[in-house]
Amino acid sequence: MGKRFLIYVNKFKDPELKVTNRIKEYLEARGQEACLLIVEKDWKTGERQVPVFPENIDIMLVLGGDGTVLQAARETIHSHVPLIGVNLGSLGFMTQIEPSAVETALDRLIAGDYRKESRMLLLGKATLANGETREGLALNDIVITRSGALRVILLRIYVNGSFLHEYQADGIIITTPTGSTGYNLSAGGPLVEPGAKLLMLTPICPHSLNHRSIILSPEDEVEIEIPLGKEGKEQEVGASLDGANSFPMRTGDRIVIRQSAESAQFLQLSRVSFLETLHQKMNE
């Protein structure tokens, strides 16, 4: 019995749909069902509608870069459809399949020669001083950064209700293992195998000589408080969940970050795929 594939494609990465149609035709020629979901952005407004996903999908192929994989994963969290990425971007830590080897990968997916891997998600809940609340999920990271004038910000960090430290920095990143290859890596944080379960706190340009990333248990709860800044001035910062869901925060606001009960489902064609990718990227 054939599988039902959903091909989720970032049209900016495959504008003429050459790779998309190549995959669709290959699957259909082997008795599989292939549905297309073409994601386009309105470049005048920068907005896009969240697509309507077909039901009863067995495997989702995501064509694009790491950003496209993140987007697809967020939009299908509640459907629990396992996904695998085809790299049409540059770095491609979250994509396993290169276009040059797509047919071999499709044969393995059709045959069921893969394993499923659950990736942890972060749940961020912000309580603002004006009484509003904001909430969202992140597969990669939740980032608090300065906004407005170029000045260092103060952030008070609590873990499980106990005060940990007050950072003076450009911001802080709370990341999952999946997100370790993103902003965390650029900020000097550690690389982590994406199937692991842990939280990482990585300061962004800390104004200190001894600040390093902190590794926490996935059961830990992190709270970030925005206090008064230097000289008692009000602070304005920005909160960003996976770089997509963003909102302003200011002095008096707090955000609590913990592991979500939800998870993202990925397909792995190789047990050492992350290490293979890491080896390749480190030697480029």
User: What DSSP letter does each residue of 169-212 carry, written as one string?
Assistant: ESEEEEE-SGGGGTHHHHTTPPP--TT---EEEEEES-SSSS--
E strand or H helix at 111:
helix 102-111
Q: What is the bridge-based pairing of β-strands 59-64 and 4-10?
A: parallel
Helix or strand or coil: residue 274? helix
Spell out the long-range contacts of 206-209 with Cβ–Cβ below 8 A and sequence spacing 24 or more.
206/167, 206/168, 206/169, 207/152, 207/168, 207/169, 208/168
Residue 203's nearest CA partner among 225, 175, 179, 230 is 175
Give the residue carrying structure tokens 């910000």.
153
Looking at residue 97, the DSSP 8-state letter turns out to be B
| From 14, 42, 58, 66, active-site residue | 66
Look up 66 and say whether it is catalytic. yes
Catalytic residues: 66
